[in-house]
Structure 1
Amino acid sequence: KNRNSVAYAGQKPWLLNATVEENITFGSPFNKQRYKAVTDACSLQPDIDLLPFGDQTEIGERGINLSGGQRQRICVARALYQNTNVVFLDDPFSALDIHLSDHLMQEGIMKFLRDDKRTVVLVTHKLQYLPHADWIIAMKEGFILRDGTLKDIQNNDTELYEHWKTLMNRQDQELEKDTDADQATMERKTLRRAMYSREAKAALEDEGEEEEEEEDEEEEMAMAMRQRTKMPWRTCWRYLTSGGFFFLFLMIFSKLLKHSVIVAIDYWLVKWTSENRNISRDSNELNSTDQNRTYYVVGFSILSASGILLCLITSLTVEWMGLTAARNLHSNLLNKIILAPIRFFDTTPLGLILNRFSADTNIIDQHIPPTMESLSRSTLLCLSAIGVISYVNYYFLIALIPLGVAFHLIQKYFRVTSKELQELDDNTQLPLLCHFSETAEGLTTIRAFRHESRFKQRMLELTDTNNLAYLFLSAANRWLEVRTVRRDSQIVALTATKESKVSLL
């Protein structure tokens, strides 16, 4: 053993989001004989038999699938399993009943640790275990009240010893009173655990049920794929209405008006240039050139000023609407979390809650408003351009059909892939947040075992995995950009070729 090695089990159980075996071994090499001795000493074998996959069952973050006593015993088993020189046990009997406490004391501390020749520092309120201590330190309100062996305290502080003796007799009477009932309860629990264990194993070995489960999984996967290919219109409407109906109406109206002004500016410039071309051909109308120029300059200035003002109004409306929606959605989420029952926090991983308040809230705050503004601007520009071009040359509608089919196929292919990559990014981010939260929560235990480097390395691995998923998502976005720009270039090339042929004719 390392002279400076320490094992620690805190009063508040701390477990990893891993299997039972990984929580007990905690990075140490697996020794079957030692593992079996530890689980027997901590009375964990009946509980392990109850789990569907034994000690390979994932117990969830903070041991949400286990009771308080089971979590406590797994933490104690982790301290016992480590091959350390000193073991610190901070009130390990707090979540255990009388019989489990006595079994842990006799088999775990008095037998296993003593045979292993390890120093044990035990913090407890169970005074019936004082005769087993080599040295006693009595504390009160953070100060040492008395220290020494039990015989020393009996000789030097009779009042304290008599007080302890009274409490020990009371605890012994409670132990004798509950012995028969507790033993019967333990036997029923053990029998029920064995029955549940056999039923779980039989269910796992039943091939018919496995086939049904596979069919259900395939149906769920198919439904999930259908949901990914569909647009979540209800969610979009919920976001838009969260910003307020007034801002929604103002945004739609200002955008329509802004793009109408943009089209009007283009029309005004075309009319202005056509008028100048006609004037240059007719020498008799040169006297009216100054009047026409003033007319068109004033009109163009008014339209440009109106466009600038509407652009400002539109941008402010979108940002204010996004801010209002983000504030309302965050307030609703916070109220739901605060008013949630305690069972919700016991069964929900903390990383999932942090992901909602960090990554998802960041998307609502910073990504959705500019994306919505860009989408609406591009859509209106595209529709206005199609309308103007079709008005000038209706043959463009014939070429619009294959172009529309091509863009539809590109976006359909991209949307499925993009949603998969976005889900992959979210799924790799959740373990990162979970690992960070459980590391921060169990920092005392990690430092006591001196496993800081192992958890740091795991954090870096999860960060690299999440960055890799984000890299693939960015690459998919660049893929879409390249394809759309290529189609745009083809449209421009075809238009320029047609116009050059017309001009030559």
Structure 2
Amino acid sequence: MLCSIILVHSVFVAFQTASTFWLAIAIEIPKVTNATLIGVYALISFSGVVFVYVKSYLTALLGLKASTAFFSSFTTSIFNAPMVFFDSTPVGRILTRASSDLSILDFDIPYSITFVICVGIEILVMICIMVSVTWQVLIVAVPALVASIFVQQYYQATASELIRINGTTKAPVMNFAAETSLGVVTVRAFNMADRFFKNYLQLVDTDASLFFHSNVTIEWEILRIEALQNLTVITAALLLILLPQGYVSPGLVGLSLSYAFTLTAGQIFWTRWFSNLSNYIISVERIKQFIRIPAEPPAIVDGNRPPSSWPSKGKIDLQGLE
């Protein structure tokens, strides 16, 4: 399924690149009329729309299959869990897995995977087009890419722990809300609603604080990635300006510049979704923790069953009946 998504999007990118190359080359051919120029461009562009639809369909299908598998395993594990598990596990922890973590698995992870793969392919195409016009840009692009990987790894070490801690702060909120709703009559009878509401807000603030810090770390990473990619764009623009006149056709110069300016936005988009995907995977880890719960022993053990005639006899003895 994932290979199909990569293949379909690669075909779409090929159509997209072909349409831009057609504009860059055909605009310098005098025999090509405006109608032909626009018509061929529209034909190539609309041909890629079909592959966008197929990619979206495959992404939704991928998410549905993954969600079905995890949800079935999760519910089976919870329903077959021993009673000691429910005695030692707060209700909020189970509800968090069944609500927010499964929601991330249903909606966020499939599209995050698709965005990371698709935008990654587009970034590679952008770099290849820039290199085909001015190969000297690799002198700056390669070190910038290495520095971006270092920044990504440095960020991920902190972000993963923040997300894990944030997962533990959601459970008390759910647990407190569930227990308060069950004992709301007692809370109101003793006029303690304000106290419980204050405690609830404190739990929400703790959870929101970690969520805020998670977003701050993403912005910290994106700021540095953007600076590195801007360095690549500036280098590409300077090289195009310093090239001798007539060395590269004006159409290819415009094409290279347009892709260079798009590279920064594409890299930021890819970085954001890759970071989100790395954080979303932690929800899968949390769900798998509950999938691996040892099950309750079976109600019927084939090798240890009483005979079919059991009990062979029985009686009812009533004593002191008045």
Task: Determine if the TM-score, normalized by the shorter chain, exceeds 0.5.
Answer: yes
In 1, are the aligned partners of 2:5 and 2:55 still within 8 Å (CA)? Answer: yes
- Secondary structure class of the residue paired with 2:135: coil
Distance 1:327 1:261 in 2: 34
Distance 1:495 1:253 in 2: 29
- 1:66-123 per-position Cα deviation (integer Å, ceiling 9, x unaligned): xxxxxxxxxxxxxxxxxxxxxxxxxxxxxxxxxxxxxxxxxxxxxxxxxxxxxxxxxx
The equivalent residue for 2:105 is 364
Distance change in 2, residues 1:483/1:405 (3 Å): same
The equivalent residue for 1:27 is none
Structure 1 residue 252 displacement after superposition: 2.3
Distance 1:403 1:412 in 2: 14
- Secondary structure class of the residue paired with 2:27: helix
The equivalent residue for 1:267 is 21
Query: What letter corresponds to residue 14 of structure 2 in structure 1?
Result: S
- 1:422-460 per-position Cα deviation (integer Å, ceiling 9, x unaligned): 123212212212222232334344344443322221101
Structure 1 residue 474 displacement after superposition: 1.5
In 1, are the aligned partners of 2:6 and 2:118 still within 8 Å (CA)? Answer: no
The equivalent residue for 2:140 is 399
The equivalent residue for 2:47 is 306
Query: What letter corresponds to residue 163 of structure 2 in structure 1?
Result: Q
Distance 2:32 2:87 in 1: 81
The equivalent residue for 1:434 is 175
Match of 1:335 among 70, 76, 85: 76
- Secondary structure class of the residue paired with 1:457: helix
**Residues 1:474 and 2:215 aligned together:** yes
**Residues 1:384 and 2:125 aligned together:** yes
Residue-pair matches, total: 246
In 1, are the aligned partners of 2:140 and 2:231 still within 8 Å (CA)? Answer: no
Structure 1 residue 490 displacement after superposition: 2.1
In 1, are the aligned partners of 2:134 and 2:236 still within 8 Å (CA)? Answer: no
Distance change in 2, residues 1:494/1:398 (3 Å): closer
- Secondary structure class of the residue paired with 1:395: helix
Distance change in 2, residues 1:452/1:411 (3 Å): same
Match of 1:423 among 160, 164, 174: 164
Between the aligned residues of both structures, percent identity stands at: 26
**TM-score relative to the length of structure 1:** 0.45
**Residues 1:252 and 2:6 aligned together:** yes
- 1:296-348 per-position Cα deviation (integer Å, ceiling 9, x unaligned): 54432321111122122212321332233223322321222122222221222
Output aligned runs, 1:51-450, within 5 Å.
247-274=1-28, 276=29, 279=30, 288-290=31-33, 296-450=37-191
Structure 1 residue 468 displacement after superposition: 1.3
Structure 1 residue 294 displacement after superposition: 5.8
Distance 1:249 1:393 in 2: 32
Query: What letter corresponds to residue 468 of structure 1 in structure 2?
Result: S
Structure 1 residue 463 displacement after superposition: 0.6
Name which one, 1 or 2, has greater alpha-carbon Rg. Answer: 1
The equivalent residue for 2:203 is 462
**TM-score relative to the length of structure 2:** 0.69
Distance 1:375 1:385 in 2: 15
Structure 1 residues without counterparts, runs of 5 or longer: 1-246, 280-287
Distance 2:66 2:115 in 1: 18
Higher RCO (CA < 8 A, seq sep 6+): 2
The equivalent residue for 2:271 is none
Q: Which structure shows the bigger proportion of residues in helix conformation?
A: 2
- 1:168-214 per-position Cα deviation (integer Å, ceiling 9, x unaligned): xxxxxxxxxxxxxxxxxxxxxxxxxxxxxxxxxxxxxxxxxxxxxxx
When the two chains are superposed, the root-mean-square deviation of aligned CA atoms in Å is 2.4
Structure 2 residues without counterparts, runs of 5 or longer: 247-322
In 1, are the aligned partners of 2:64 and 2:106 still within 8 Å (CA)? Answer: yes
Match of 1:493 among 219, 234, 259: 234
Structure 1 residue 404 displacement after superposition: 1.4
Q: Which structure shows the bigger proportion of residues in strand conformation?
A: 1
The equivalent residue for 2:302 is none
Query: What letter corresponds to residue 174 of structure 2 in structure 1?
Result: L
Structure 1 residue 352 displacement after superposition: 1.0
Distance 1:253 1:417 in 2: 34
Distance 1:319 1:435 in 2: 35
